[in-house]
Chain A
Amino acid sequence: MLDNTKFPNKIKMPDRAGVGYKPQHLDDILKDPKAIGWLEIHAENYMGDGGRPIAQLKRLREVFPISCHGVGLSIGAEGPLDMDHLLRLKKLENWLQPALFSEHLAWSTHEGHFLNDLLPAPYVQKTVDTVVDHINQVQDVIGRRMSLENPSTYVQFAETDRSEVEFLREITQRTGCGLLLDVNNVFVSATNHAYSAQGYIDSFPMEQVDEIHLGGHEVDADDFGNDLLIDSHSRAVVDPVWALYEYTIAKSGPFPTLIEWDNDIPEWDVLVNEAVLADAVLSKAKVGARS
């Protein structure tokens, strides 16, 4: 059942480029707040009781729309969700009131051990059913729509019997959740598994997309000498990913777009430059939509 009305997004996120917030950029961000449209934070970094991180976020939320991106809920886990963690997310959601809340199609916790990585799951009916139950629980407890992000993956499961897009489409149809389309992840997974990235975008349910991610990746090789791309968030977005992004936006119109850069974090100017590039693609689409 498609139910988009149960949890509408309360605050409209601007169709502009945003960046992932890093504390070392705080002064630069506040010096020229118009340089970026919004900020994304990792939820788990703001789950202490107080201190500097929370004080900074309270200040930033007065200036910017915030997107809250969880990295620890383990929605793709075989076992139940960690209720304590879900309640921490609800507490954060309550005071922060972010414009968007997203999590990953991945698992990271098994039998109480948190592995701090986004691990893959097989695309079969059983996983769909588990993920649907988990997303329903998240949306009910937090009281809002969440967006589910497509992963970067490095292996395939022999048991997988459907495409990632088919898998995501059923989940969004049954839960009413939104999707976070990570264009770099599409490029990474398409390269790693030898399918067409453009074909993936063509079949993706863009009407459910709340946000787009762009980031950098590293290039390695597998045992057979084939390119193995690694989603590292450690460098600038590469040209083929920009091209895929332009293709997506030209086809589907503008979406709030995040520049993700979490490792080897650059100077603020370098990050803003990436945001300016994304904004240029977005404004072209906005002009196109008006004419």
Chain B
Amino acid sequence: MNVGQKEFTSALLDPDLPVPQGLTDSQGRPAGKRFDVYRNNVVFSLLEAMQTAFPVIRKLVGPNNFNTMCSSFVRKHPPTSPILMFYGAAFPEFLHQYEPVRKYPYMPDVARLELARRVAYHAADVTPIKPEVLAEIPSDQLMESRFSLAPAMQIVQSDHPIVALWEFNMIEGAPKPEPVSHTALITRAEFDPEIVAISKGSSAFLKILQQGETLSGAFERATERDPEFDLSTTLGLMLQTQIITNIHL
């Protein structure tokens, strides 16, 4: 009896299905436990990928719960690409639906933050502009200029204190999270991503700027979003995090 890869795959991902007939040992007896080696390899190797990708979620739920939850996730959502560095894009939505963690509504957003951090980690390298370049541009010209921003820059919006949650679980001595909402800005000056909480106005400003709007246009729309939006603080943050790669006058 021939065993196709469709049948093999189904049995691999569903331990309740029987081992395909036509898989044997060297004497022609049913493969049985031998097939479990493949079943285990798939789940364990993908669990490992999830552990690498979501260390904060793992700390929040504990290693055992994490493994239970992820065993279910990896069978339902196997990777769609051999590039495992970005595996887990469906995890936030999975967490949103997963009954045992529904009482922790911040969990999907923390997972989103962890995914964004990995995207930043592997993003293209760029050379930031020097702060002097910005300082030398007359302000009327600067307001009409457009900016190129580093591809590592990511923004994750949340109704929960995701930056503090991330820090509390990853940085020793970080303070306990307060119940506030955070918008996280992820940047990468050299190799290690940095995460900071920014205002809703700064977040809107950066997103609009990234779409190619002029500085004045982005400023106007950020102020509509957040009347307390402060342009010079935000520009200072952009220089400090080295996300400006070019200014087009």
Report 8 cross-chain contacts, Cβ distance below 8 Å, ordered by A residue.
Answer: A50-B123, A114-B82, A115-B9, A119-B5, A157-B2, A159-B2, A222-B25, A230-B37
The smallest C-beta distance from B115 to any residue of chain A, in angstroms, reads 14
The smallest C-beta distance from A138 to any residue of chain B, in angstroms, reads 14
The smallest C-beta distance from B155 to any residue of chain A, in angstroms, reads 18
The smallest C-beta distance from B124 to any residue of chain A, in angstroms, reads 4
Does chain A have a CB within 8 A of B238? no
Q: Once the chains bind, are B188 and A158 in contact (CB under 8 Å)?
A: no
The smallest C-beta distance from A133 to any residue of chain B, in angstroms, reads 16
Quick one: which of B1, B6, B37, B123 contacts A228, CB cutoff 8 A?
B37
Q: Once the chains bind, are A116 and B25 in contact (CB under 8 Å)?
A: no
Does chain A have a CB within 8 A of B106? no
Known A107-B5, A117-B42, A157-B3; contact A82-B35, beta-carbon cutoff 8 A = no
Residues of B within 8 A of A50 (CB): 122-125
Query: B38-82: which residues lie under 8 A (CB-CB) from chain A?
Result: 38, 41-42, 45-46, 49, 78-82
Known: A77-B5, A111-B6, A194-B26. 18 other contacts (CB 8 A): A44-B82, A44-B83, A50-B124, A55-B191, A107-B5, A116-B45, A116-B49, A117-B45, A154-B31, A155-B25, A155-B34, A157-B3, A157-B24, A158-B24, A158-B28, A223-B30, A223-B33, A224-B25
Does chain B have a CB within 8 A of A184? no
Q: Once the chains bind, are A48 and B78 in contact (CB under 8 Å)?
A: no
Query: A139-156: which residues lie under 8 A (CB-CB) from chain B?
Result: 154-156
Does chain B have a CB within 8 A of A71? yes
Q: Once the chains bind, are B23 and A155 in contact (CB under 8 Å)?
A: yes
Q: Once the chains bind, are A51 and B122 in contact (CB under 8 Å)?
A: yes
The smallest C-beta distance from B56 to any residue of chain A, in angstroms, reads 20
Roughly how many angstroms separate A173 CA and B122 CA in the complex, as a whole number?
A: 40
Roughly how many angstroms separate A59 CA and B9 CA in the complex, as a whole number?
A: 39
Q: Once the chains bind, are A155 and B2 in contact (CB under 8 Å)?
A: no
- Listed from nearest, the 4 A-B pairs whose CB atoms lie closest are A72-B82, A48-B122, A50-B125, A49-B124
Roughly how many angstroms separate A79 CA and B9 CA in the complex, as a whole number?
A: 13
Roughly how many angstroms separate A157 CA and B25 CA in the complex, as a whole number?
A: 8
Q: Once the chains bind, are A82 and B6 in contact (CB under 8 Å)?
A: no
Q: Specify the chain B residue showing the minimal Cβ separation from A110.
A: B9
Residues of B within 8 A of A53 (CB): 122
Roughly how many angstroms separate A230 CA and B41 CA in the complex, as a whole number?
A: 10
Does chain B have a CB within 8 A of A226? yes
Q: Once the chains bind, are A109 and B82 in contact (CB under 8 Å)?
A: yes
Does chain A have a CB within 8 A of B121? yes
Q: Once the chains bind, are B38 and A117 in contact (CB under 8 Å)?
A: yes
Interface residues, chain B, with chain A CB atoms under 8 Å away: 1-6, 8-9, 12-13, 22-35, 37-38, 41-42, 45-46, 49, 78-85, 121-125, 151-152, 188, 191-192
Roughly how many angstroms separate A116 CA and B85 CA in the complex, as a whole number?
A: 12
Residues of B within 8 A of A91 (CB): none
The smallest C-beta distance from A200 to any residue of chain B, in angstroms, reads 14
Does chain B have a CB within 8 A of A108? yes
Does chain B have a CB within 8 A of A52? yes
Does chain B have a CB within 8 A of A5? no
The smallest C-beta distance from B126 to any residue of chain A, in angstroms, reads 8
Q: Specify the chain B residue showing the minimal Cβ separation from A76.
A: B5
Known A44-B83, A49-B122, A156-B24; contact A117-B2, beta-carbon cutoff 8 A = no
Q: Once the chains bind, are B78 and A115 in contact (CB under 8 Å)?
A: yes
Q: Once the chains bind, are A45 and B82 in contact (CB under 8 Å)?
A: no
Q: Once the chains bind, are A113 and B151 in contact (CB under 8 Å)?
A: no
Residues of B within 8 A of A52 (CB): 121, 191-192
Residues of A within 8 A of B42 (CB): 115-117
Quick one: which of B12, B13, B79, B123 contacts A51, CB cutoff 8 A?
B123
Q: Once the chains bind, are A158 and B33 in contact (CB under 8 Å)?
A: no
Q: Specify the chain A residue showing the minimal Cβ separation from B193.
A: A51
Roughly how many angstroms separate A72 CA and B29 CA in the complex, as a whole number?
A: 31
Q: Specify the chain A residue showing the minimal Cβ separation from B24.
A: A156
